[in-house]
Amino acid sequence: MAVFIGRKVGAALIVVFLASVIVFAGARALPGDPALAYAAEDRDPEVLAEIRDKYGLDDPVPVQYVRWVGLALQGDLGTDSRGIPVAETIVTRIPLTLELATLALLIGALVGIPAGVIAAVRRGKASDYAATTVALLGLSVPHFWLGLLMIIVFAVNLGWLPAGGYVPFREDPIGNLEHMLMPAIVLGTGLSAVLMRQMRSAMLTSLGADYVRTARAKGLSERAVVGKHALRNSLITVTTVIGLQLGALISGAVITEQIFGIAGFGRLTVDSIAQRDYALLQGVVLVAAVGYVVVNLLVDLSYSLINPRIRVAGGRSA
Partner 1 sequence: MSYVEAQPLSPRARRRRVMRRRFLRRPAAVGSLVVVVSFVLAAVFARWVAPHPPGATDFDAILAGPSREHLLGTDELGRDTLSRIIWGARASIQAGFFATMLAMAVAVPIGLVGGYYRGKVDTVIARITDVLLAFPFLILAVGLAAILGPSLLNATLALGIAAVPPLIRISRGETLELREEDYVRAAVANGANDGVILGRHILPNMTSTLIVQATLTIPAAIIGEAVLSFLGLGVQPPTPSWGVMLNAAQPYLSEAPQLAVYPGLAIVIAALAFNLLGDGLRDVLDPKTER
Which residues of this chain interact with partner 1, rule CB under 8 A? 11, 14-16, 18-19, 22, 26, 29-31, 136-137, 139-142, 144-145, 148-149, 151-152, 156-157, 163, 201, 247-248, 250-251, 254-255, 258, 269-270, 273-274, 285, 288-289, 292-293
Query: Looking at beta carbons only, is 110 or 149 nearer to partner 1?
Result: 149
With beta carbons less than 8 A apart as the criterion, state whether 256 and 187 touch: yes
Closest CA to 33 of 270, 274, 272, 278: 278
Query: Looking at beta carbons only, is 134 or 220 nearer to partner 1?
Result: 134
Q: How far is the CB of 68 from partner 1 (least distance, A)?
A: 17
Q: Could you give the 3-state DSSP secondary structure of residue 164?
A: coil
Q: How far is the CB of 255 from partner 1 (least distance, A)?
A: 6
Please state, in angstroms and as integers, the Cα–Cα distance from residue 163 to each residue in 146, 181, 260, 306, following that order: 13, 11, 7, 42
Q: How far is the CB of 309 from partner 1 (least distance, A)?
A: 20
d(CA 17, CA 160): 47
Query: Looking at beta carbons only, is 149 or 209 nearer to partner 1?
Result: 149
Query: Looking at beta carbons only, is 22 or 49 nearer to partner 1?
Result: 22
One-letter amino acid for residue 177 of the chain: L
Q: How far is the CB of 306 from partner 1 (least distance, A)?
A: 23
With beta carbons less than 8 A apart as the criterion, state whether 156 and 182 touch: no
Q: How far is the CB of 65 from partner 1 (least distance, A)?
A: 16
Please state, in angstroms and as integers, the Cα–Cα distance from residue 273 to each residue in 17, 81, 98, 204, 241, following that order: 22, 12, 21, 44, 30
Closest CA to 245 of 204, 277, 210, 197: 197
Query: Looking at beta carbons only, is 77 or 151 nearer to partner 1?
Result: 151
